[in-house]
Amino acid sequence: MATYVTKEGLERMTKELEQLETIERPKITQQIAEARDKGDLSENAEYDAAKEAQGMLEMKISKLKDSIATSKVIDESQLDTSKVAILTTVRLKNLTSKGEQKFTIVPDNESDIKAGKISVSTPIAKGLLGKAVGEKAEIALPNGNQLHFEVLEITL
């Protein structure tokens, strides 16, 4: 299954993979060698910990390689801003509090709520997808609460 990412998201994953393979992997290999040099491996906690860390690192590298291999970069030039979609920034009016909020809807692995980036899989994003400026959205949250928004603006 394809993982949709931005160009920046793919670059970030590629840099992380390079860091893991060129810096972290050799560090753990060195830790294993040092622990092995301390003698009896059957009761060597340092060796066991280093081997476990190696297994976790290799699993992370494998998952990252799979993500990169199945990634499809979203072409922002092909996006339509007439409706809320992935990679659009939407300015909303909360109809309950009368306050305004702004979110950018991003692929799952690029969400960062502090930066105003919400995953396309969140209830808010799902409730907004396909809405046009002026449309209202009623969004049911997992805790049972309801949010009521009006779409004020959609941009890239």
pLDDT confidence bin for 1, thresholds 50/70/90: low
Closest listed residue to residue 114, CA positions, set 122, 104, 123: 104
Pairwise pLDDT comparison (115 vs 43), residue with the higher score = 115
Measured CA to CA, the distance from residue 73 to residue 92 in angstroms comes to 27
Sorted by where each starts, the structural domains of the chain and their CATH numbers stand as 3-73 (1.10.287.180), 76-155 (3.10.50.30)
Whether the pLDDT of residue 53 is over 90: the answer is: yes
Residues 63-90 have pLDDT tens digits of 999 999 999 898 888 888 999 999 999 9
> How many percent of the chain have pLDDT more than 90?
75
Contact 87, 76 (CB under 8 A): yes
pLDDT, tens digit (0-9, with 9 covering 90-100), for 107-131: 988 999 999 999 999 999 999 999 9
